[in-house]
Chain A
Amino acid sequence: MATEILMPALSPTMEEGTLAKWLVKEGDTVSSGDIMAEIETDKATMEFEAVDEGVIGKILVAEGTEGVKVNTAIAVLLEEGEDASAADNLGGGTPEAAPAAAASDEPAQAAAASEAPAAPQTDTTPDWPEGTTLRQQTVREALRDGMAEEMRRDDTVFLMGEEVAEYQGAYKISQGMLDEFGAKRIIDTPITEHGFAGIATGAAFGGLRPIVEFMTFNFAMQAIDHIINSAAKTLYMSGGQMGAPMVFRGPNGAAARVGAQHSQDYAAWYMQVPGLKVVMPYSASDYKGLMKTAIRDPNPVIFLENEILYGRTFDVPEMDDYTVPFGKARIWREGTDVTIVSFGIGMQYALEAADKLAEDGISAEVLDLRTLRPMDTGSIIKSVMKTNRCVTVEEGWPQGSVGNYISSVIMQEAFDYLDAPVINCTGKDVPMPYAANLEKHALVTTNEVIEAVKKVTYK
């Protein structure tokens, strides 16, 4: 049976091309792999090979023709022994074309734009029941306890990273864990972030629940391809068949006087990536409860810690299995005049500012987001509907900051409730300097938060 040879698409973007040269003529026998023509695409001149065997019955488009649309019949191929007249009936039909993307269809998720939204429903249950015994614990201890409890609960959980085992952790987070769990589950790696992030991600594909410690998140830049391309995207790319249930954790952001390459806050970077969950706790109880939730979560979780907070002491509930859900902000302080939203170490500026503002008679509500993805925007909106003003606080850079995102959400969902523009208090738009005075100034300060609150409250 005679078949049409169609103008091929030879690049991802080609819609038409030039039939530069025929290398076969009518009557020639061709077999699979023979070059039949040269075709100029938008990118290059390509050789066009025969796919089937047969005899060239008729050439429909002469060489030198420009602007030949993809899928136009350019020649007719006859089966061996077939009469050339079989070609006559072909060569004019519209070939089957690829489906055009349904561009006009709205994606399933529509932007909401209602006039007077009701206050969002939020989960305001306390983190632990009233009357629970509390004890004082450092962030460091709480974090270790959270990991150790989950390792006792699930044999497939293991911890991997530089100096996590015999050295007991560069920041002593994994102290004692090698003794309890052994070298099979507390694994010292060479200094090879890209490699071990990839190995841990592969291990997660293979049925384990890795915790990867980066000595600091600055070094995770070496590994970010695996975090994003391998861990975050595989569930989607596989149509839900496999993913990477794992935790990437370590100190993030500025410590003290360690210079530009060791002092970056990655909250806004990771928060942008679908497929990742991003946690950035402030208090010891959250470090513990959120770490336990992170280990159990079936997705890759970025757990952003802070070296300065490691030694801070907070109340931690004495409970057998204390977990904190993702996507639930904590209200540290209720107030009526302004909402201060922060997370991680930013909370210390937010809380200090609120204390000082109270002395001036300004009542600030302070929200700790705890997780940035999912983000409890409902609690932000609800609070802003009450206070009509908002200041965000973080140590990261200003352009494309977490605060920028929060501002846009408030603008879209609670514009009519705002009595002043939202102000984002951030780190300065500079690499981190070493000098003590410069470093202090490069970070966000409590005074800047106070100033911002006074500005939005017109005081």
Chain B
Amino acid sequence: MATRKAAKKPNVSAEELKAYYKDMLLIRRFEEKAGQLYGMGLIGGFCHLYIGQEAVVVGLEAAAEEGDKRITSYRDHGHMLACGMDPNGVMAELTGREGGYSKGKGGSMHMFSKEKHFYGGHGIVAAQVPLGAGLSFADKYLENGRVTFTYFGDGAANQGQVYEAFNMAALWKLPCVFVIENNQYAMGTSQQRSTSSAEIYERGKAFGIPGEAVDGMDVLAVKAAGETAVAHCRSGKGPYILEIKTYRYRGHSMSDPAKYRTREEVQKMRDERDPIEAVRTLLLTGKHATEDDLKAIDKEIKAVVNESAEFAKTSPEPALEELWTDIYATEVPQEA
């Protein structure tokens, strides 16, 4: 599956590498905790975990600049943590509490942060694609030099509105990085069974949008590709497509028994391609960190995640009055 090898010599500092390790580990431990809280009935409804895909958002955030925007689907916890949103606020939204990013009114699939330029959190497969193109339309209109990362999955790539958005994004040269997180399964349907093309990014050719496939289990490869894409968009050349080949270890949502693939397939990915293990190995073999350093990071992350869970359990449920607020705006929220 890998089409781009990791740069032989990582073009990052030891500190950066450690930061990626930490960011990816935070997502994984956070998601494991979310799964646990779901099992306890503290998180309800749908809950789509990001475990296995961590290198995608961490690599791309490493290529982003302050003020760049991001928008994604309902599998959104990783994106929020990667762009610096507070784990407490995210976890408390999962438990439907007052301290959540949407005051408990959005849930796992619908969170936003004006401050971090995170535009959701969308539950209708592929709806975020034209919305993301629209965010970049606004950036181009306002001439602010910003780029929008518009994330969607291999499943969404079969929705018509994706190609409506591709067409207009190319026509109007919108500064939009279309990120296809190809985790190979649209819920229970493999790419092979649902998608006519083996390389989804090649569909961009029909619209004159350049693109490439990227090894999504290699955070450095993702970062490098992200830098290429961002430079293309920021220079006014229009959109760029990154098809990032990744893998989700868990089911589509918490209630998915994942019978459409073998246990061995998942185990093989975990054993051989895990993105966090890969960075861990780089850190240790490159002598950028010791086992003890990494243990300290693990401990630190565990504390952050436990604190978020504690906050999410103790933050009160929203007041009943909240049912009736935020239906209509009285003034336009200012663009952050």
Contacts and interface: CB of A to CB of B under 8 A. Distances in A.
B328 A238 contact: no
A198 B130 contact: yes
B1 interface: no
B191 interface: no
**Residue from B38, B113, B135 having most chain A Cβ neighbours under 10 A:** B135
Interface stretch (A205-213, A316-324, A334-342, A389-397): A205-213
B203 to A, nearest CB: 15
A275 B329 CA distance: 9
Given A202-B138, A226-B127, A195 B161 contact: yes
A11 B329 contact: no
Contacts of B142: 156, 206-208
Contact of A206 (B40, B137, B255, B325): B137
A241 B112 contact: yes
A318 to B, nearest CB: 29
Contacts, number: 234
A242 B326 CA distance: 10
B333 A192 contact: no
Interface string B115-138: 000011111100101111111111
A195 B168 CA distance: 8
Interface stretch (A42-50, A128-136, A174-182, A419-427): A42-50
B77 to A, nearest CB: 16
Nearest to B42: A98
B106 to A, nearest CB: 4
Contacts of A234: 112, 120
A230 B333 contact: no
A189 B137 CA distance: 13
A9 B41 contact: yes
B114 interface: yes
A156 B35 CA distance: 43
B186 interface: no
A107 interface: yes
Contact of B39 (A9, A209, A235): A9
Given A6-B40, A229-B127, A198 B120 contact: no
A385 to B, nearest CB: 28
A46 B257 contact: yes
A81 interface: no
B326 A235 contact: yes
Interface string A132-173: 000000000000000000000000101000000000000000
A360 interface: no
B134 A236 contact: no
Interface in A27-57: 32-33, 35, 41, 43-47, 49, 51
Contacts of A99: 317
Interface in A192-228: 192, 194-209, 225-226
B178 to A, nearest CB: 13
A275 B324 CA distance: 11
A298 B332 contact: yes
Contacts of B21: none
A12 interface: yes
Contacts of A238: 101-102, 106, 110-112, 120-121, 326
B273 interface: no
Contact of B101 (A204, A236, A239): A239
A184 B140 CA distance: 10
A6 B131 CA distance: 41
**Residue from B122, B138, B167 having most chain A Cβ neighbours under 10 A:** B138
B331 interface: yes
Interface in A381-430: none
A235 B41 CA distance: 27
A230 B42 contact: no
B254 A95 contact: no
B249 interface: yes
**Residue from A47, A71, A198 having most chain B Cβ neighbours under 10 A:** A198
A190 B170 CA distance: 12
Interface string A92-125: 0001111100100101110000000000000000
Contacts of A243: 329, 332-333
B160 A194 contact: yes
A206 B139 contact: yes
Interface in A1-40: 6, 8-12, 14, 32-33, 35
B321 interface: yes
A274 interface: yes
A245 interface: yes
Interface in B154-176: 160-161, 164-165, 167-168, 171
Nearest to B335: A207
B10 interface: no
Contacts of A361: none
Contact of B127 (A32, A107, A225, A274): A225
A46 B257 CA distance: 5
B45 interface: yes
B167 A190 contact: yes
Contact of B137 (A32, A190, A203, A274): A203
B310 to A, nearest CB: 12
Given A237-B121, A238-B106, A201 B134 contact: yes
A388 to B, nearest CB: 33
B270 interface: yes
Given A11-B254, A230-B122, A234-B120, A194 B161 contact: yes
Given A8-B38, A11-B255, A158-B141, A202 B168 contact: no
Interface string A345-383: 000000000000000000000000000000000000000
Contacts of A44: 255-257, 259
B38 A105 contact: no
Contacts of A240: 103, 325-326, 329, 333
Contacts of B254: 10-11
Contacts of B131: 198-199, 201-202, 205, 226, 230
**Residue from B132, B139, B167, B333 having most chain A Cβ neighbours under 10 A:** B333
Interface string B65-84: 00001010000000000000
What 3 pairs across the A-B complex have the smallest Cβ distances? A202-B134, A198-B130, A195-B164
Interface of B: 32-33, 35-36, 38-42, 44-46, 69, 71, 100-106, 110-114, 119-124, 127, 129-139, 141-142, 160-161, 164-165, 167-168, 171, 249, 254-259, 263, 270, 313, 317, 320-321, 323-335
Given A107-B320, A298-B329, 11 more contacts: A51-B33, A107-B323, A108-B324, A195-B130, A195-B165, A198-B129, A199-B168, A200-B134, A239-B102, A240-B329, A245-B332
22 contacts: A6-B39, A71-B40, A96-B40, A158-B141, A195-B130, A197-B130, A198-B129, A199-B130, A199-B168, A203-B138, A205-B138, A208-B141, A209-B332, A226-B131, A230-B124, A235-B327, A238-B101, A238-B111, A238-B112, A239-B102, A243-B329, A275-B327
Interface of A: 6, 8-12, 14, 32-33, 35, 41, 43-47, 49, 51, 70-71, 95-99, 102, 105, 107-109, 156, 158, 184, 189-190, 192, 194-209, 225-226, 229-230, 234-243, 245, 274-275, 277, 298-299
